[in-house]
Amino acid sequence: MRSLFRRTAISTSMVLALAVAASSAAQGQTYRVIYNFTGGADGAAPAAGLTMDAAGNFYGTTLGGGAGYGTVFRLRNTNGGWVVTPLYTFQGGNDGGSPEARVIIGPDGSLYGTTSLGGGGCSRAGGCGAVFRLRVPPNARSAGFGGWMETVLYSFTGGRDGGFPASGDLTFDQAGNLYGTTVSGGDENCSNSGCGTVYELTPSGPSWTEAVLHAFTSGNDDGEYPYAGVTVDQSGTLYGTTIYGGSGNQGAVFKLTPSNGGWAESVIYSFTGSSDGASPYAGLIFDQTGNLYGGTVDRGSGNGGTVFELAPSNGVWTFTLLASLSGARGDGVYGSLIMDAAGNVYGTAYGDGRYGAGEVFRLSPSNHGWTYTSLYDFCSGGYPCTDGSYPQGGVIFDADGNLYGTTGTGGTSSNCQGGCGVVFEITPN
C-alpha cells in the first residue's frame, strides 16, 4: 500500500511544478474533452468530480492554480461551447486552500465545500483545513472572481475536532445540518495526529457549531482514516468508509446510528486485503432497495482494487464482489460510484485501464453476476495524454444520459508537469 496521502502528494507536486462475469470494450460511445485547464486563473489539477445545478451548469474544484491554492469554478455550455468561470480563488490562509472534495449545492442555492489545507484554525504549516460556503452577494460586482463571496463556516484545529478534511464530500440532512469527515484529529490516543473524525456542523443564526460524532481509534472494531464523506439514509443513519482499520487493518465500512442523544458506531464490514480488496477511499451509494456500493484502490484478484456491494438482511451485511480491477496496487477506485435507473453502476479507476492512466467503466447486472465494460481508457494517444489522465473523482449524468468527469492531469496545457487536467464528456451514440 502506498502512502496515505498518495493522491494529494501526486497532484500537489504536479501543480507545484507549474473477477468479472465478462469484460468488453464499449461500443457506440463518443469521448471528448470539453475543457482543458491552463493552470492560471481557471485552476489546475481537479481532484474531485462535478456537481450539476438545475440549469445544467457544472461546478467543481481544483487543487492548484488561481493564486496557487486552488479554485472553485463553474462550467457553462454557451452557444455550443463550454466556458469556465473561476468563482473563487483560494489564498491559502484563513480562507482555506487546496480543495480536494466536490462542492455541493445547499438548500439555499449556495455552494458548500471543504479545503484540505488553510483555514487559520491551527498552527501547523499549511493549516488544518476548513469548511466554506460560496454565494452570490447582493452586490455581485464587489465580490471578486465570478461575483461569488466566500464565508468560512468552520476552521479545523487539528485536535479533537479533526483536521484535514481531504476528499470527503459534504452531506446535508433534511434539517439543514452538514456532515463530513476528517482524515486526522479526533482521538489523540490513536496516533500523534489522530485517526480521523465524523463531524456535524449545525447552523445557528449566522454561525455554525461543530460537533464530533465519532473519533476513530483503529483496532478490530473501528476504522481509521475516513477519506471519503458519509452517506445518510432515510432514518438519519450515516454510512462511510475508512482506508485502514477493521479486523485486518485493510479498511472498513462503518455506520453511525443516532442513539440516546449521541451516536453509536459499528463496523459492518472489514476488508481482508485478499479477493475483496483493500483501502476503500471511495464513498458509498445506495440503490433503491437499500444495498450499498463502493470501491477499493488496492488488492483484489487483479491487484488494482475492487468494486463491491453490501446487502443488509436482519442486521447482517453480506459482501458481494462485483469486479476486480487489473493494474498496479493503489490505482483503483477513488471517486464514488453512480447508478442509473436500470441498475448499472459507473465509476472511474485512477491508474488502471489499457494504457495505465485510468479509465471510465460500467458494471451491468446480469443473470450470472456483473458485466464489466470499459467506456474509455485515458492516454489513448500516448504521452502527453492530451485526452486526460488519472481521474480521481467520479462521474455524473446530465439529463440526456451523457457522462461528465475530470482528470487530475493530462490535457493540452504545458503550464503544469504532465498537463493541468481536463473536464470530459462521454456521449452514448
CB 199 within 8 A of CB 170: no
- The 111-115 sheet, strands edge to edge: 104-105, 111-115, 130-135, 149-155
Backbone angles phi, psi at 119, to 5 degrees: 105, -25
Query: Does residue 251 form part of some domain?
Result: yes
- The residues pairing with 133 across neighbouring beta strands, listed in sequence order, are 112, 151
As a whole number of angstroms, the distance between CA 252 and CA 303 comes to: 18
Sign of CA dihedral 49, 181, 312, 350: positive
Q: In this structure, which amino acid lies at residue 429?
A: N
Residues 212-231: tens digit of each pLDDT: 999 999 878 899 999 999 99
CA 241 to chain CA centroid, Å, is 12
- The 171-172 sheet, strands edge to edge: 171-172, 178-182, 197-204, 207-215
Domain count, the chain: 1
Query: Cα torsion for 275, 278, 283, 284, to the nearest 10°?
Result: 30
CB 305 within 8 A of CB 281: no
Backbone angles phi, psi at 14, to 5 degrees: -65, -45
Write out the DSSP string of 329-340.
TT-S--SPPEE-
Query: Does residue 294 form part of some domain?
Result: yes
C-alpha cell at 99: 480543495
Query: Does residue 290 form part of some domain?
Result: yes
C-alpha cell at 119: 483555514
- The residues pairing with 61 across neighbouring beta strands, listed in sequence order, are 72
Give the pLDDT of residue 95: 97
pLDDT, average across residues 10-18: 36
Give the pLDDT of residue 258: 94
Among 48, 165, 184, smallest CA distance to 115 is for 165
Do you know the residue count of the chain?
A: 429
pLDDT over threshold 60, residue 13: no
Give the pLDDT of residue 97: 97
What band does 144 get if pLDDT is binned at 50, 70 and 90? Answer: very low
CATH number at residue 309: 2.130.10.130
Query: Does residue 1 form part of some domain?
Result: no
C-alpha cell at 204: 445557528
pLDDT over threshold 50, residue 14: no
Backbone conformation region of residue 379, classed left if phi is above 0, alpha if psi is from -120 to 50, else beta = left
Query: Does residue 29 form part of some domain?
Result: yes
Residues 386-412: tens digit of each pLDDT: 999 999 999 999 999 999 999 999 999
Q: In this structure, which amino acid lies at residue 327?
A: G
Query: Does residue 298 form part of some domain?
Result: yes
Query: Does residue 123 form part of some domain?
Result: yes
C-alpha cell at 141: 460586482
Residues 58-90: tens digit of each pLDDT: 999 999 999 999 999 999 998 878 999 999 999
Write out the DSSP string of 182-207.
ESB-S-TTTSTT---EEEEEEEETTE
Is residue 90 helix, strand or coil?
A: coil
Is pTM beyond 0.75? Reply is yes
pLDDT over threshold 70, residue 16: no
Is residue 359 helix, strand or coil?
A: strand
Structure-model confidence comparison of residues 335 and 7, the more confident one:
335
pLDDT, average across residues 33-42: 98
CB 190 within 8 A of CB 217: yes
As a whole number of angstroms, the distance between CA 318 and CA 315 comes to: 10
Query: Does residue 326 form part of some domain?
Result: yes
CA contacts within 13 A on the Cβ side of 34: 22
Using the structure block, give the residue that is written with the C-alpha cell 462550467. 75
What's the burial of 68, exposed, middle or buried (CB within 10 Å: 0-12/13-18/19+)?
middle
- The residues pairing with 202 across neighbouring beta strands, listed in sequence order, are 209
Backbone angles phi, psi at 372, to 5 degrees: -95, 130
Give the pLDDT of residue 124: 87
In the structure, how many helices (H) and strands (E) does the chain have? 1, 31
The range of the structural domain enclosing residue 117 comes to 6-428
Structure-model confidence comparison of residues 271 and 145, the more confident one:
271
150's enclosing H/E stretch is strand 149-155
C-alpha cell at 125: 504549516
As a whole number of angstroms, the distance between CA 223 and CA 215 comes to: 9
3-class SS string, 54-72: CCCCEEEEECECCCCCCEE
